[in-house]
Amino acid sequence: MKNRFTICCLLLVLSIGTSCINSNSDSEVKLVTAQEMQSILDLEDAQIIDVRTAKEHHEVRIANSQNIDFTSPTFEQDISKLDKKKPVIVYCKSGGRSAKCSKKMIDAGFEKVYDLEGGISKWKHSDKLEIEIKS
């Protein structure tokens, strides 16, 4: 009985200790809506990164976004040129590529990473973002 109590206490301490290690909210990707994205842009000097292909970026994009293709072999080098201390807002077409990219950016040491929920497809007809479309 005494051994079971000791084992239970050890498991409790270990689970609390490991959950505290992973609870650093500064190093998590935050999903944001178009309205939240616009608020971030109004309040902070954020970098907007479009991780779609150059062709996709040329056709329709969020104003003032920089294109860094997630599928490019130079992707890791390209993101290393960004300021890791400045907030980064990442988007793609629907959210899949930007989710993967956001995780890589956190792993690379970026302090604040925001991912546009649903990508540009969800928001391109919204009045919340300034969208540039090739005419």
User: Which residue segments constitute the domains of the chain, with CATH numbers given?
Assistant: 24-133 (3.40.250.10)
Residue 7 pLDDT: 64
Query: Of 19, 21, 32, 24, whose CA–CA distance to 113 is shortest?
Result: 32
How far is the first Cα of the chain from the last one, in angstroms, to the nearest whole number?
A: 76
More confident residue, 124 or 106: 106
Q: What sign does the dihedral 48-54-68-26 (CA atoms) show?
A: positive
* Rounded CA separation 112/84 (Å): 8
What residues are annotated to the active site?
Answer: 92
For 35-54, write each residue's pLDDT tens digit: 999 999 999 999 999 999 99
Residue 20 has pLDDT above 80, yes or no: no
Mean pLDDT (the chain, rounded): 85
Q: Whole-prediction pTM value?
A: 0.78
- pLDDT at position 22 is 40
The pLDDT assigned to 25 comes to: 45
Which residue is listed with tokens 């842009």?
41
